[in-house]
């Protein structure tokens, strides 16, 4: 076991799989000698060489198109997009081509591509380096969407994603890249895609969340615990496929649900969770489902601390649910 940050776990996962499987390659902007904008691939070029850790032009569409072709010829490419905000030039390649290959070929071909990209706010990146647009990809059939919140999950989920036969959009919450540390096993292990975890047991209210917001919600749970409120925090881990069974089991136990994330509220992923709870567990509810999220505006630089839901805002929604 080694104490690692979330970022170090991402690097270690890629290193581990590249040692085990020579079909695994990395492509992206500055991923080679520079080690990527956040240094996620640092040291891998020296270790595996330029034929397996390849710098590309500034062309996201080309990165994903190339990775798709590699996968069709038997390789397992990991494509890095420097920021999620830069993924849109590749949107057509992802949703119209990569996501459809298995369907359009009747399962004859698979496309085992992992698209790694840091997402979300918290680093003073402003409106072009802070977006949380996970819902676009969760909405697209044929894609799996994964987002870890801990170093342990980051390594296990990334290895599982690399080994998966379907394309995976692997969203890395960059504001906790270096701030969260945890003992992580050395060597290969997997965390199952599509299985949520209970980050904190509770009995009064379920707080459903993912990514960096998990830590915000745990802080909020600690705040309300001093007031006698027992909050259960559910870490989704995977947005698609969604482990709705774990969510429903929690809500049926507590009778209350607060859904927290930092993306814009309107048509956000929190709305899908709320709708599923309303459809499948309405008889268990003792209060309305509440959503706490970012605002329906472009991400702000000056007011980043206001835009991002903090622990006090989440705690306020928990209190509101309890007082209904």
Q: Kindly list the catalytic residues.
A: 129
If you count DSSP H runs as helices and E runs as strands, how many of each does the chain have, helices first? 12, 14
* Neighbouring C-beta atoms of residue 171, cutoff 10 Å: 25
DSSP-derived pairing of the beta strands 76-80 and 24-28: parallel
Assess whether the previous peptide bond of 253 is cis (omega < 30° from 0): no
Cα–Cα distance, 57 to 98 (Å, whole number): 20
SS3 of residue 112 by DSSP: coil
Q: How is the chain split among helix, strand and coil, in percent rounded to 5?
A: 40, 20, 40
Question: 212 and 179 in contact (C-beta within 8 Å)?
Answer: no
């Amino acid at each position: 076991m080694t104490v690692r940050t979330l970022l170090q776990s991402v690097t270690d996962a890629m290193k581990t799989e590249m040692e085990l499987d020579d079909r695994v390659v990395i492509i992206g902007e500055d991923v080679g000698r520079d080690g990527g904008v956040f240094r996620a691939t640092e040291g891998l070029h020296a270790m595996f060489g330029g034929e397996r850790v390849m710098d590309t032009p500034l062309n996201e569409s080309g990165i994903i198109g190339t990775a798709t072709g590699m996968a069709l010829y038997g390789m397992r490419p990991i494509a890095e997009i420097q920021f999620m905000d830069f993924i849109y030039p590749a949107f057509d390649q992802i949703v119209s081509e990569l996501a459809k290959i298995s369907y359009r070929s009747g399962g004859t071909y698979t496309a085992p591509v992992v698209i790694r990209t840091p997402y979300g706010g918290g680093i003073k990146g402003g409106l072009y380096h802070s977006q949380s647009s996970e819902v676009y990809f969760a909405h697209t059939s044929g894609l799996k969407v994964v987002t870890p919140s801990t170093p342990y999950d980051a390594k296990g989920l990334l290895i599982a994603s690399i080994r998966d036969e379907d394309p995976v959009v692997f969203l890395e919450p960059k504001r906790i890249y270096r701030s969260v540390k945890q003992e992580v096993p050395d060597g290969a292990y997997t965390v199952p895609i599509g299985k949520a975890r209970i980050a904190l047991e509770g009995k009064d209210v379920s707080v459903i969340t993912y990514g960096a917001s998990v830590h915000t919600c745990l802080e909020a749970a600690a705040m309300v615990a001093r007031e006698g409120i027992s909050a259960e925090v559910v870490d989704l881990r995977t947005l698609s496929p969604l482990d709705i069974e774990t969510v429903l089991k929690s809500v049926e136990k507590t009778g209350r649900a607060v859904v927290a994330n930092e993306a814009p509220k309107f048509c956000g992923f929190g709305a899908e969770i709320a709708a599923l709870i309303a459809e499948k567990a309405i008889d268990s509810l003792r209060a309305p489902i509440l959503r706490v999220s970012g605002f329906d505006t472009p991400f702000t630089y000056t007011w980043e601390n206001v835009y991002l839901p903090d622990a006090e805002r989440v705690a306020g929604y928990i209190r509101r649910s309890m007082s209904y």
